[in-house]
Each structure stands twice: as structure tokens, then as C-alpha cells.
Amino acid sequence: MNNIRLSKSCVGEEEKIALARVIDAGYLGMGREVQLFEEELQAYLGTSLHVICVNTGTAALHLAVQCLDIGPGDEVLVPSITYVASFQAVAAAGAKPVACDVTPDRAFIDLVDAERRLTSRTKAIMPVHYASDSQDIGTVYTFAARHGLRVIEDAAHGFGCVRDGKRVGAEGDILCFSFDGIKNITSGEGGAVVTGDAELARRIQDARLLGVERDTEKRFKGERSWTFDVLHQGYRYHMSNLMAAVGREQLKKIGRFSERRQSCVARYQREFAGLVGLSFLDLDYENIVSHIFVVRVSNGRRDELMDHLRSNNIECGIHYQPNHLLNYFETDYPLPIAETLISEFLTLPLHAELTEDELTKVIDAVRNFLKQV
């Protein structure tokens, strides 16, 4: 029996044709396809902010931190419950990620705890759109303004979501999206930085191409920079035409993908309503496009439920191990909410190709297990 997938890449003939088009054109690196993808992302988001595509969401975060001149001796506030990429991106710039606790209802960064972590070295705060949620982002910007911090939104889960009547990415200081294989749209691998800071955008454009000044302009014209200068550290973080071609086709499907994800989440909510031993995060599911669907399993039964689902060929997961408990980022202080939540969190299957029959099997397996005394 085939497993019911926790997540998957939802790609098809359109992406194959797009890849063939780029291959036939004869240039696979960064060029016109990337430029078009950036323009189409900007139009979709409904923004005049700069959109800079890179090869991963982690690269987007790393460049955002580094190009703000945040480095050795500096600190960035980050919620502990996030994928380790958030912490590694800060560390890659030479700065210190400072783990903060999260709120019990949304697993969003707890600003009361963040205030405790502030020092004279704190330069930025990195709120994470955990499970695609950023409805409390206004409080983060107020906090940042009060303390003179830049805001780098880790919006890896947030593409396609709406907040305050606008697409996530339409406004803000700096937002970083991920387009890896299982995100709300994919470019195979990939990411993007969105910012209204023109100087920061220029530096990120250069830094993604090894720091070569204004090489983006040349690449988008199908040319190369043969004589140039380099003023800052750079990396091979640019997106390729192959990746952008896939992303452009995926962007055409975002409406269908979003509708299906929201429909699956709505059914989970209906079917699990009132079920003893299971609860939801307090998220605005009508306006978010859930990248993951996380439930809380009480009474110490989470691991048993995981084993039960897996024995029924249903994949499930845990998002994410708190970073302050990892050896490399270990803290000398506890974060009790994060530690409690992660012992209860369970991620159920969710993707745009999840069928109703598969949903029924997941729902029945969860309900049958929790009804057991």
C-alpha cells in the first residue's frame, strides 16, 4: 500500500515544457526567465517593493542579514520553534541568533520574552510565519520601531497568504520566501527577498552574484560583466533560468493550490471539532494558505498517535525541534512554552494533491486512535 504523503511537489506537464523551453534556448543560468519571474512575483504580490530571486529560502535569509551589515558581535532575535535554516542564516553572517520563546496559541515569537533577550548588540528581529501565520506582525513592527531594529520576516511558509487585506509580501521591511520542493509554490529549489529598501535590494542583487557590481543588469540582458568591481562579500546564490521557469508555471497554479490546501484544512477542522485530546492553533485559516497543518495532541499521546498513523501508512511529522535545544545553538535559559508545545505538536498530511479519500483515511485514523481509552 502506498503511503499517504505528508507533503509533496505538485508539478506536471507545464513545468516539463517550461524546462524544455529553457534547455532548448541554450542558457540555463540566470537570465531573462529570472527577470520575468521576479516581475510576475511582484505583480502577484501587488507591490512596488523590490523582488530578488535566489537559489534557496535560506540564502534569502542569509543575504538579508548580511547585507544589513549585521555580522560578528551582533544579535538577531529569532523564535526557537522554526526550521534550523533561520538560525543558520543568522550564524552564516557571523551574527548570533538569540532564541526567544513563542506564544502558546500560535507559536509566534513572544515579544515579552524577546524584550528579555534585548542587548545593546541586538540589530534585528526575525519573526517566523510559523504554519503560514503572521497575523500578529503589526506588534513586531511596533516592537522593532521602539528598539531601533530591522525586521526580517521569515515568510518561508507564507507565500499566497493574506493579512490586513493584502498579500503577504505587499508591504513590510524585509520578507524572505522559500520556493523549495514542498512549499506553497516551488521552483525546485529557490527563494526570494522582498524589500522596499532600494540600497539593500541593490546589495542583495550584487551579493547573489558573488558581489559583482550590477551584474544583475547584464544577466537580464543576456550579457556578462567582463570588467567589474566587488565591494562586498558575495556568494553563488542566484536563481537559474531552469528554476525560474518552473516557478513561473507554479505561480499560474497558486489559485488552485491555495484553494485545495484551504479546503483540506477546513475539512480537518470540521471533522476534528470537539474531539477530546486534540486541538488547533488559533490561526486565521480563511486568509492563510497553510504550508503545514499542525495540531496539538494532549495527555502525552502524541508519539503514540504518530506510531499509529505510520502503521496505517500515513506520513506525519514534527515541526520543529526547538533550536535552543540543539547543541550548536543551545541556550543557558529555558523556553518553557516552546518546550511544551513541541511535545504536543503533530503535523498531518497537507498538499495540493491530497485527495478526499486520503483525507478520510487520515481523519478516521486520528479519530479512531483518540477514541481509544
Q: Are residues 86 and 231 in the same domain?
A: yes
Q: What is residue 349's predicted lDDT score, i.e. its pLDDT?
A: 98
CA separation for the pair 225, 323 (Å, rounded)? 41
- In the prediction, which pLDDT does 2 show? 86
Q: Which domain, by its residues, includes 260? A: 255-371
Report yes or no on 1 lying in a domain: no
| In the chain, % of residues over pLDDT 90 | 98
Domains contained in the chain, number: 2
Is residue 271 located within the same domain as residue 219?
A: no
Out of 234, 252, 270, pick the residue that ends a domain.
252
Q: For 19-73, what is each residue's pLDDT tens digit?
A: 999 999 999 999 999 999 999 999 999 999 999 999 999 999 999 999 999 999 9
Instruction: Give the C-alpha separation, 76 to 333, whole Å.
Output: 17
- Is 5 a domain residue? no
Q: Which of 339-343, 351-355, 369-373 is predicted least confidently? A: 369-373
The last residue of a domain, from among 252, 285, 305: 252
Query: Could you tell me if residue 4 is inside a domain?
Result: no
Nearest to 347 by CA among 313, 312, 304, 302: 302
Q: Report how far apart, in Å, the C-alpha atoms of 23 and of each of 26, 41, 201, 205, 241 are.
A: 5, 23, 29, 24, 9
Whether residue 373 is predicted with pLDDT greater than 80 in this model: the reply is no
SS3 177: strand
**What CATH number is associated with residue 266?**
3.90.1150.10
Say how far apart CA 30 and CA 32 lie, in whole Å.
7
Q: Is 293 helix (H, G, I), strand (E, B) or coil?
A: strand
Instruction: Give the integer Cα–Cα distance in Å for 85 and 212.
Output: 26
Tens of pLDDT, residue by residue over 202-247, are: 999 999 999 999 999 999 999 999 999 999 999 999 999 999 999 9
Q: Which of 34, 41, 7, 37 is nearest to 160 (CA)?
A: 41
Residues 33 and 174 in one domain: yes
Whether pLDDT at 1 is above 80 = no
Q: Do 280 and 318 fall within a single domain?
A: yes
Does residue 195 fall inside a structural domain? yes
Give the pLDDT confidence of 117-153 residue by residue, as tens digits: 999 999 999 999 999 999 999 999 999 999 999 999 9
Pick from 243, 199, 195, 205: which is nearest to 225 by CA? 205
Q: Is 107 inside a domain boundary? A: yes
36, 147: one domain: yes
- At residue 372, the pLDDT reads 77
Distance CA 226, CA 366 (A): 60
pLDDT (average), residues 164-183: 97
Averaged pLDDT score across all residues of the chain: 97
Residues linked to residue 154 through DSSP beta bridges, in sequence order: 128, 176
List pLDDT tens digits, range 297-308: 999 999 999 999
DSSP state letter for 132: G
pLDDT of 197 = 98
Within 8 A by CB and 6+ apart from 295, the residues are 268, 272, 278, 279, 280, 345, 346, 348
Residue with cell 544583475: 216
Pair 125, 194 in one domain: yes
